[in-house]
Structure 1
Amino acid sequence: MGYNTLPRRKRRTPKNCSNDIKAAFIENCSGKGDRLCALEGGLTIFIRMSETRMLDYQRATAELFNVIRKPRADQPFSERQFEVSDRIISLIKSSTAQTTIDDIVKQMFDDFKTPTQDAETCKNMMRHFVFAVIGWSTLLYTPIFTTADADFKIAETQSKRSQEKQSIIHIEDSSRRPIGAMLGSHGLVPITCPHNTRLPQDLPSRLPVTCLNLCSLSQLGGVTILWVDDLSKHCEFSRYSREKQLKLFRLPSLCAKICLSDDSETLIDRLFKSHICRNNCQFNTKSVGKSYLTEVLLSYRLLFGQHSRSRRLFRGQELERAKWNGTLDPLLGVLCGNKDVDDSTGIVELLHERNVYNVQDSFPHLGLRLAELADYISGQEPNDFLEVWNDSRNPEKLLTLKAAVKIGVATVILGIFQVLLGTAQLVISIYR
């Protein structure tokens, strides 16, 4: 029997990016601090989400990466993307309020000592990559890439049932504007500006848990939940839309990780504080980003966790819809599906739960969106007795109704019993 003595060709399989590279990326995006086990599941989704978005840019950035940095032998392309992304994030974190995308592009080419001609050729592609990195490192928006010569694009809808809509941002003008100002002008910096802005007088300033919850929203207002990947869309709602969709961010673990970080200023803090608006708004607080993200975490408790029927609705209907590629952020399940938040999450001290929330005190940034939602549901009336019975917006009125119904039912039952008893006595007396 003969044997093949020729050397076998080794089958080369693509290598995955190392866990250390991924861990460094998470830390650069969300700040330094302990990695709590309760947040690991959600942060794993964040990495997978980032890798998925990076794949859309892989073919387009191959030439760019070869120009700025020669790859190491057998280095996975995803690892190169993470390394370049980390460098861009570090530059943004150390930037000023006047730093533009073009400033970051120039710094990147200078750092990698890219020849002038190559830098000019790849300038637009690097602009797109910087814009994309800001999106997938903060999850403020979902960038869409077509060609290097095209304008910036972001996804506006993330529903599988509807055709994807896109928002276009002019690449030349946007690349020359300060990054924070550019994002703010397109609604991608979801903070109240100027700080402590008062609500319009026609909107409620108090948010009772008995009124603003998923149960009331869905049963009385016909509101449906659209779980989104973009943090800037959290609690977005339009009462005039046909679908009546309330958009909610599906990855609270990233918010919690940033809130619990040891860094005085994280990436999202830098972007929020440098938004430069027409009001010449300046935030004196050290961490406006953490303040906003704490409100995001608390909003899940208001809409779901503090209301028993809303918790049951989440577990029965929304839990599957909130999953990303079949995986649920465990912290989302805790915030929306549990009566109490476990100490292991590390965020108990951040959540100052109340039965009635003051918009200005508890939600200085999300308050306008929540107040508009509360105003919408306050104007909805029950259509049948079952909806009246389950309407908890006015507890005193509901308690009076239930008491009257129960007393009425008891009175009727007692009356029927007395009639039957009288009939029985009559029959007995006749047969005697």
Structure 2
Amino acid sequence: MTHNTIDETLEELSLPGSQAIIVQEQTIEDPTFDLPWYQWWMLEQIHKQPERLLQILPAYRSYKDSTAAIRILWGQIRRAITTSGQCSIESITDMLISQQLVNIEDSYEALLSVKDLVFCIIGLQTMLYQPCFDIGIPGGYRILDEMNGYQGSTRMSLYQSSNSSARDLPEFLLGFGMMLPPPNYCPSDNDAERHIFNQIKTVTPNDIDAHVLSRLCGLKFQWIDSLSCHLELDKHSSTLFLYRYPSFCISNLQQHELRNIKDGRKTALYSCASGANGTLRWANEEDITGLLREILLSYRVIFGQNKRSRTVFRKLRPFTSISNRGHDQNLAELCGKKRFNCSLTLVEQEEYDLAVDFPHLRSRIALLAGYASSKQPHSLRRLWHDRRNSPTWLAYWSALVFGFMGLLLVLIQTVFQILQYVDQVRDDHN
């Protein structure tokens, strides 16, 4: 389906701005739908999936006609995730079947398609991953390779067997990688990376801002839809992966804060947290709050706090080939402006203590800082732009300027001496 068709579907079907219709005339409020881009993005992602996922919907005729049924499933899956103590793809599937929201007709293939659809919607509601299905081949769970073959800590595996559907969500997600890391956790077994993790305690914006990373280190920025992959660094392709929808983080933080005040329902993302007494190396609810805030602050560190880096951002195209309805205006606000307008308070500093200010992104930022520090300028032009160490930069260029001036004076003096000698020789001949 083209972008225009998606836009027409949104208009004609009037997907509610802040509600998802569910059975029995009840309503589940989903404030995430208040985000201007989210409805378009959700429909776009669902349409990318194999048609067999939608054929299990009652009275299915076409994608366009199935949108109301998708909204019902969306609301019921969200309810199951956010109200159950522990839930799994299997338990959610059983609930949908018992409520006759899907039609499997005792077909094993249809049952697998229901599980795949649940897997798909969980990914869209949490934005931790995007599903990937082999067309017409059900079985197992695959996530989309958004990092062009690179498998960092968040993507240790792109596939899990169908048996994993019985695991609760934190354990299931951990099967793909460390999507929601606990604080001050180093996921790497590489000795060099663990050394960097333990060695680099603090960073400044000048160490890892976009100007340094792009102009001096030669890094490329690739924008992705999964927040779990934010700040993953592929050294081999010199690519830094950045999440392009910061307003999703803001919305989740606001919903969580309101829940604490009004005793409301969790968001789907917060429902993926580990239990308070769990032994799983995985983020709890407090950690998810910290992670989301760190993601937002990282935009300021890499782009927003430095004028040259803001200029770098303005030349980027984070939403290339994406309809205007899928653009997140908060990204430009956080990355492209010196003074940004954000409903949340982000404390900017000249120096950040990674263990305190970025405990959940610590390993990624430490690796990024280590990578940047290993890239030394090999030309005067790059040396001029390398201001990561201001005193050293000033001392070097001061010495270079004064040294050049000294050489220039010596050269001028030598020229005058030669001219005097020539004049003296001429006088002697005369």
> Residue 30 of structure 1 contacts residue 266 of structure 1 at CA under 8 Å; is this kept in 2?
no
Are residue 356 (structure 1) and residue 346 (structure 2) matched? no
> Residue 19 of structure 2 contacts residue 30 of structure 2 at CA under 8 Å; is this kept in 1?
no
Are residue 259 (structure 1) and residue 253 (structure 2) matched? yes
Q: Which amino acid in 1 is paired with 2:241?
A: K
Q: Which amino acid in 1 is paired with 2:389?
A: N
Please name the residue that 2:191 is paired with.
Answer: none
Q: Distance in 2 between matches of 1:218 and 1:113?
A: 50
User: Gapped runs of 5+ residues in structure 2?
Assistant: 1-7, 22-26, 149-154, 188-193, 261-265, 419-430
Q: Residues 366 and 226 from structure 1, CA distance in 2 versus in 1: closer, same or farther, beyond 3 angstroms?
A: same
Matching residue within 162, 178, 181 for 2:171: 181
Matching residue within 148, 157, 161 for 2:146: 157
Please name the residue that 1:366 is paired with.
Answer: 361
Q: Residues 221 and 280 from structure 1, CA distance in 2 versus in 1: closer, same or farther, beyond 3 angstroms?
A: closer
Are residue 297 (structure 1) and residue 285 (structure 2) matched? no
The alpha carbon displacement at 1:175 in A equals 0.7
The alpha carbon displacement at 1:93 in A equals 0.8
Q: Distance in 2 between matches of 1:114 and 1:222?
A: 50
Please name the residue that 1:397 is paired with.
Answer: 392
Q: Residues 75 and 114 from structure 1, CA distance in 2 versus in 1: closer, same or farther, beyond 3 angstroms?
A: closer
Matching residue within 139, 142, 162 for 1:172: 162
Task: Tell me the SS of whatever aligns to 2:371.
Answer: helix
Deviations 1:222-244 (A, max 9, x none): 211111111111100133x2x11
What percent identity do the matched residue pairs reach?
A: 23
Q: Distance in 2 between matches of 1:45 and 1:14?
A: 14
The alpha carbon displacement at 1:148 in A equals 5.7
Task: Tell me the SS of whatever aligns to 2:240.
Answer: strand
Q: Which amino acid in 1 is paired with 2:41?
A: M
Deviations 1:60-119 (A, max 9, x none): 2343111xxx589x984223212211211110111224x221111111111237788547
User: Gapped runs of 5+ residues in structure 1?
Assistant: 1-12, 36-42, 160-164, 424-432
The alpha carbon displacement at 1:220 in A equals 2.4
> Residue 18 of structure 2 contacts residue 33 of structure 2 at CA under 8 Å; is this kept in 1?
no
Please name the residue that 1:56 is paired with.
Answer: 48
The alpha carbon displacement at 1:56 in A equals 2.8
Are residue 89 (structure 1) and residue 78 (structure 2) matched? yes
The alpha carbon displacement at 1:198 in A equals 7.2
Are residue 138 (structure 1) and residue 106 (structure 2) matched? no
> Residue 30 of structure 1 contacts residue 254 of structure 1 at CA under 8 Å; is this kept in 2?
no
Please name the residue that 1:4 is paired with.
Answer: none
Q: Residues 173 and 268 from structure 1, CA distance in 2 versus in 1: closer, same or farther, beyond 3 angstroms?
A: same
Q: Residues 158 and 397 from structure 1, CA distance in 2 versus in 1: closer, same or farther, beyond 3 angstroms?
A: closer
Please name the residue that 2:97 is paired with.
Answer: 109
Task: Tell me the SS of whatever aligns to 2:85.
Answer: coil
Are residue 209 (structure 1) and residue 205 (structure 2) matched? yes
Q: Distance in 2 between matches of 1:209 and 1:387?
A: 18
Segment of structure 1 superposing worse, 230-239 or 295-304: 230-239
Segment of structure 1 superposing worse, 181-190 or 321-330: 321-330
- Report which structure shows greater RCO (CA 8 Å, sep ≥6): 1
Q: Distance in 2 between matches of 1:219 and 1:29?
A: 48
The alpha carbon displacement at 1:253 in A equals 1.3
Are residue 45 (structure 1) and residue 45 (structure 2) matched? no
The TM-score with structure 1 as length reference comes to: 0.77
Q: Distance in 1 between matches of 2:214 and 2:281?
A: 40
> Residue 22 of structure 1 contacts residue 82 of structure 1 at CA under 8 Å; is this kept in 2?
no
Task: Tell me the SS of whatever aligns to 2:56.
Answer: helix
Deviations 1:44-73 (A, max 9, x none): 33222211111134732343111xxx589x
Please name the residue that 2:240 is paired with.
Answer: 246
The alpha carbon displacement at 1:402 in A equals 3.2
Q: Where do 1:207-356 residues align within 5 Å?
A: 207-239=203-235, 241=236, 243-261=237-255, 262-264=258-260, 265-273=266-274, 279=280, 283=284, 286-316=285-315, 318=316, 320-323=317-320, 325-327=322-324, 328-342=327-341, 345-347=342-344, 349=345, 351-356=346-351
Paired residues, what number? 390
Q: Distance in 2 between matches of 1:263 and 1:198?
A: 31
Q: Which amino acid in 2 is paired with 1:254?
A: F
What's the Cα RMSD here? 4.0
The TM-score with structure 2 as length reference comes to: 0.77
> Residue 303 of structure 2 contacts residue 309 of structure 2 at CA under 8 Å; is this kept in 1?
yes
> Residue 180 of structure 2 contacts residue 282 of structure 2 at CA under 8 Å; is this kept in 1?
no
Q: Distance in 2 between matches of 1:218 and 1:353?
A: 22
